[in-house]
Structure 1
């Protein structure tokens, strides 16, 4: 919130937190619930804090690929997604292969179904 009056934005590279950290951490579930990443873990609001959220799938999801996301308002003000879409790493490369997409989807589904239990076991 302190950055908004100055028009600043925060770029969070959450390659290690996405899929591991989640919302509402507590003594029973110290890593939080859902695996939504460090932004959810700390209860931050994307739009309020002008957060640009980036990460990769190769850590918690063991799949190729990455992502950039932000609140619609942040994108409208800063052109974040257009910038990401035209970055050299995307212009000079090919798409993720079908096997990689299948791997990512499978691990997303597993994380949704069993992630909270696995995160709890991780610290047991």
Structure 2
């Protein structure tokens, strides 16, 4: 048994679509790192759109990214005060060499604010 914020076997339309499109584009199955990279791109797009492409407008860019909700293959998430994802953690069980989700271990896990600030 393991816990993680993603599993290949998440049975959601968002995850199924992501996995299919990724496999078509790269001819391999995505892993947790592919999902995290995809989410990073979604977060950057939300920030860039909010400032109409003016990435020098850092206060507005950071505010937009801090307030963004990301509709991810791993489930919806947003940033904590410490700039880490507030996300579900899934309980997984290995069966036939595959991680199968057997439930949500913790809903909307968030870290405590650490006082960190974005420059």
TM-score by length of 2: 0.29
- More strand, by proportion: 2
Q: Which structure has more RCO (C-alpha within 8 Å, separation ≥ 6)?
A: 2
